[in-house]
Amino acid sequence: MSDAPFSSAAIIGSGSFGTALALLLAPKLEQVLLIGRDADVAETINREHRNPRYLGDIPLPENILAGTENPAAIGHPLIVFAVPTSVTRAVAEELAKAGLPEHAILLSCAKGIERSTGERMSEILREIFPNNPIAALSGPNHAEELARGLASCAVIGSDDFDLAVRLQEAITLPHFRIYTSDDLAGMELGGAVKNVFAIAAGIAHGLGLGDNAVAALVTRALAEMTRLGTELGGRAETFNGLSGMGDLLVTCYSNHSRNHRVGFALGEGKSLDEAVSVLGMVAEGVPNTLSIYDAARKAHVRTPIIDAVHSILYGGKPAAQAMQELLTRDPRPEPE
């Protein structure tokens, strides 16, 4: 067992990413509790040491246990939020009512912003837990590759540098390199906005627009991410890092990306309902297109790619038309 700065952790969310995180933490901790909603899944994890619904072919170490009650996380020094952004607040409020102690470290892994408030996930946690240590993890990290031990990098952000370093020590493995950042806003905004751009890239691939067009779209997406992210409180250099450009690249080009797969289906002519149904999992970019579009309007930031994806998902505009309109906008100098 490694000399990690704490002995156990609870991960709320037993989906693919929560399961992959459990696999990363298990070698260093005495126990990892994986909390989900499905009792049958939890029973299978405890009995057969595998998650039957996600990453089912990967064996789980015996120190990964499963449960279905969120308050069971209380008592663990590290609590990881690996649930969709839409339920982060509800889960946090449940833990608060159950008496979560102030010394528990809260690590957010959800990528998105709340539509009703425009708040990032760490801001929601800070609102509910004003005295707890809070951090976020982000980067180009597909669960399928993390779980198989393929080389990956990530960044942990926190307003508390010492906390970021403690988490860096706890999670770093030979195949999983962790960097730290104090730009929590930039990290979280990059991770949220890239989901929308991944849908756009998937649409472009689905339409058969070609590598040149997709490369141009992704490049302009980075400029758009930086423009919006800095206006909302992030630092420009953060968007050139792992939680910005790194996450953008992997999610715009990888078949592991749920958002890309939804976009690809839309580009092939499927409806949004059909695309989401075929996926069978949450693609954060779909609901977050609404919240990010709203945030951009309130900030008065020019976001043509976000606007195009919003028009396809929620305005009924044909994907081919929206992409064509992107390409035929008024010319302007780069890097504007």
Task: State the pTM of this model.
Answer: 0.93
Q: What is the pLDDT of residue 329?
A: 79
- pLDDT band for position 4 (50/70/90)? low
Rounded Cα distance between 109 and 18, Å, is 9
For 149-170, what is each residue's pLDDT tens digit? 999 999 999 999 999 999 998 8
- The continuous run of DSSP H or E covering 138 comes out as strand 134-138
Please report the domains of the chain, with CATH numbers, ordered by start residue. 8-182 (3.40.50.720), 186-327 (1.10.1040.10)
What SS3 class is residue 200? helix
**Residue 314 assigned ligand-binding role:** no
Kindly report the number of other CB atoms within 10 A of residue 297's CB atom: 13
Give me the amino acid identity at 157.
Answer: G
- pLDDT band for position 334 (50/70/90)? confident
For 40-98, what is each residue's pLDDT tens digit? 999 999 999 999 989 989 999 999 999 999 999 999 999 999 999 999 999 999 999 99
**Residue 334 assigned ligand-binding role:** no
Give me the amino acid identity at 287.
Answer: P
Q: What is the DSSP letter of 239?
A: G
What SS3 class is residue 11? strand
Q: What is the DSSP letter of 245?
A: I
User: Does 194 qualify as catalytic in the annotation?
Assistant: yes
Q: Write out the E strands in the chain.
A: 8-12, 31-35, 64-67, 78-81, 105-108, 134-138, 152-157, 176-181
Catalytic residue among 28, 97, 194, 317: 194
**Residue 51 assigned ligand-binding role:** no
Q: What is the pLDDT of residue 1?
A: 43
Residue 158 falls in which region: left (phi positive, over 0), alpha (psi -120 to 50) or beta: beta
| Burial class, 45, CB count within 10 angstroms (exposed 0-12 / middle 13-18 / buried 19+) | buried
Rounded Cα distance between 278 and 282, Å, is 11
**Residue 16 assigned ligand-binding role:** yes
Q: What is the DSSP letter of 176?
A: E
Tokens at 224, concatenated = 């758009």
